[in-house]
Structure 1
């Protein structure tokens, strides 16, 4: 007789939920990395533009060119502020996904532990049953020899 856990479908469901939570965390981490990369690019562009603005000021460039560079710097600052908000939201999302994954892992662990205990109980019952059969066989043999 083979061990069949009554709640195996629940265990499978909990395992699938944990796997999905892992995928969601992985996706959230990917989004966070993309946002951080985008922020780094904006910061680099701001540095290049600031250097260009300094160079133009030293070369006594036209006022129109300086104003254009300054407007672009303002635009970059606004973009950086928005991107920092995006990065923060992505970080919060990653943290939320980590908490969700921890919960799913705990659920799965509880159900796996329950399955393990059920299996141990089943094995114990099977060993007792086998021992009783062996004892009965020994008793029958002894009774036959005694006659």
Structure 2
């Protein structure tokens, strides 16, 4: 009995490979987004810590230069937070883009897999039909042989 060989199997393999690559890209982009979000939360925690420190020092006798230094550092942290928010937006856009790419790749793969399944079903039907015809022919030959 002949085995099924899909003539477009290399395309199916390519589509599967593209889907896998898109999954890796999405996974990588999500990892980068999580790292950026973690970094943002650390910056916010550091800012809250320094803000509390500024409040403590403002209630005690501290030189003006120390207060200005603390204020400048808080402003620096604010600019870092703003920069990190931009980084997060870019990372989120990459995640969205990679998610869309993965959806497209999954659709392509599904289309080719369905085509392969349909072709396999046609092959099975043709094989069954051929086998049935051979069995019918054998039965006919036996009948003729036994009738004579």
Shorter-normalised TM-score: what interval? over 0.9
SS of equivalent to 1:47: helix
Corresponding residue of 2:66: 65
TM-score (norm: length of structure 1): 0.98
TM-score by length of 2: 0.98
Tell me what 1:133 maps to: 134
List gaps (5 residues or longer) in structure 2: none
Q: For residues 1-147 of structure 1, what are the structure 2 equivalents within 5 Å?
A: 1-147=2-148
**Backbone CA RMSD of aligned residues:** 0.6
Task: Report how far residue 145 of structure 1 moved.
Answer: 1.7
2:77 and 2:91 map into 1 onto residues whose CA distance is 20
For structure 1, the residue ranges without an aligned partner over 5 or more in a row are none
- Separation of aligned partners in 2, 1:51 and 1:104: 50
Determine the C-alpha separation between the residues in 1 that align with 2:146 and 2:37.
86
- SS at structure 1 position matched to 2:5: coil
Aligned residues: 147
